[in-house]
Chain A
């Protein structure tokens, strides 16, 4: 055993003991344990499934694939049944031997918008390990009573002077770097280290215009309270959920395009409750489950299924009818190599520290 693996085991053992201690009071063999993003913690989403199956769904929320994978490393095999993960990161889970292939014939694959199936990530060696459940755009969110919607049709507005001091930047380096790349005509899937200096220039200009670099909650707060009028990286996930209270909040898909985010569901290979895990995935992918997930109290987003049982008002808020046109202009998240990922994160650090 190397020193490094010993250290990992030491840390893992300590945290696993604490995790087990924490879960002991709430989990039982019949429960479904789900490692999820906050949208899955909405009782309106979970309760119908729990009632129909006489089961309790224990959810643990996390943000960021790294944090999710860390929780798994610190858990015992079989602790978790299903996981929500960035679609582009499904291969990271497969590489670690975490996920079980999903039976495509038991899932409504034909109902999914073709552009968001993300087979390049969700299918590994011919087997499907993830199914896209929800998607949206990292693009420009704005308050149309304060910012001219016409201005929001180009990413150039983010580096110009017109909205200086009225902009916030969503604090996640991959999508915003993707937007910066699109602003200079690069494709998000073809980024290399050589592109970073030009991207840095765009990011630095954006930062000079920005009042703050905000996380999910702060992004919503900043737009909702009028602290800023434009959110770089924002989209329906920020504006839709509060559209009723703030009908002026909207998002655009600029002519250069937007970054497509998508989240997938995966089943754990070591799940002790695979039948129920599959039932859960089938429920989430059902028209009713998709509608409830799309309008979750934590954040709204487009359902991956075109058959989602959304009402007309919800469809209007999510701009359901415009999706084919939006999807044509959307580009996927950058999916950098380990080395390039580190360099992109360092670039992001430099941007934040720039005065």
Chain B
């Protein structure tokens, strides 16, 4: 094959992906960027929509709320998913692993909205948790669980633990058992073997899952809207609010771009682990 032919085949292979990215990311992003600097009802070009984010405390608060919730969700999800993935990979007998994995992804089969409303009923004042605790005598008054940040975190964690489990499980399964054997031969305790050998080797899987969790959670509207009870606004809710009645796409675009900047920064923070290795 001549270099020219190889080049043409290469371009032909990547062209659909490039066109897709151009049509569904680059052009819409460009449109959004331009719309964001022409405020609704304004005379022309202005950075007012960006300015309001930094000058209006309730807008700024939405971003800090989003980052706090997303960080909490990511950390809890990793802490729960890692041992779960470990058990799936190394403790569950091989013949049961397929079933266990299927059970792990079972929550994905339910509609995201339905799942959130289901959690609302579980966490409600007369929901399963409060009723059980009251009947057991553990509490005398129902706990305020629904319509709180805690409810939002629970809804998110339920979803993302599964996602993280899959990414970490895939990473763990790729590890040769010889690493653990070699560490043991060299006198490492199981804990030392995990801390100094297994964990560093599975860090890329953790970071990929954590990054996906961060990106998906920080841009999610449904879970905080249904479970959070609107007692605080996160960025996606603030963005939707601009559109609902007023149709202020300019302000919504500016806030969306600011959110994208945060996600980009998160990417750079994780880039060391997210890069695709080339052969």
Contact = CB atoms under 8 A, between A and B. Distances in A.
A63 B244 contact: yes
Interface stretch (A48-56, A125-133, A276-284, A337-345): A337-345
Interface stretch (B5-13, B27-35, B72-80): B27-35
Contacts of A345: 241-242, 245-246
Given A211-B229, A227-B125, A11 B41 contact: no
Contact of B59 (A10, A66, A218, A349): A349
A11 B252 CA distance: 14
B259 interface: no
Nearest to B249: A70
B31 A352 contact: no
A278 to B, nearest CB: 27
Nearest to B36: A7
A77 interface: no
Given A14-B23, A66-B243, A353-B233, A215 B31 contact: no
B171 interface: no
A7 B232 CA distance: 32
Contacts of A8: 31, 35
B229 A342 contact: no
Interface of A is mostly: helix
A212 B28 contact: no
A97 B230 CA distance: 36
B218 interface: no
A67 B252 CA distance: 12
Interface string A162-179: 000100000111100000
B208 interface: no
B35 A218 contact: no
Interface in B130-160: 144, 146-147
Given A7-B34, A66-B244, A14 B59 contact: no
A11 B245 contact: no
B31 A350 contact: no
Contacts of B247: 64-67, 69-70
B245 A66 contact: yes
Contacts of B233: 349, 352-353
Nearest to A210: B231
A225 B34 contact: no
Interface in A203-259: 210-215, 218, 221, 225-227
A145 B102 CA distance: 46
Interface string A1-21: 001101110110010000000
Contacts of B180: none
Given A64-B245, A66-B248, A70-B243, A10 B231 contact: no
A349 B40 contact: no
A346 interface: yes
Nearest to A351: B58
Interface in A25-83: 63-67, 69-70
B214 to A, nearest CB: 22
A94 B100 CA distance: 59
Given A14-B23, A226-B125, 20 more contacts: A3-B38, A4-B35, A7-B35, A10-B27, A10-B31, A14-B28, A64-B247, A65-B247, A67-B247, A173-B245, A211-B229, A225-B121, A225-B125, A225-B126, A227-B146, A349-B56, A349-B233, A349-B238, A350-B58, A353-B233
> Which 5 A/B pairs are nearest by Cβ-Cβ distance?
A66-B247, A212-B229, A7-B34, A213-B230, A64-B244
28 contacts: A7-B31, A7-B33, A8-B31, A10-B31, A11-B32, A11-B35, A14-B23, A14-B24, A66-B244, A67-B243, A69-B247, A165-B144, A212-B147, A213-B230, A214-B230, A215-B225, A218-B120, A225-B124, A225-B125, A226-B126, A227-B124, A342-B41, A342-B248, A345-B241, A349-B59, A352-B233, A353-B57, A353-B232
Interface of B: 23-24, 27-28, 30-35, 38, 40-41, 56-59, 61-62, 117, 120-121, 124-126, 144, 146-147, 225-226, 229-233, 238, 241-249
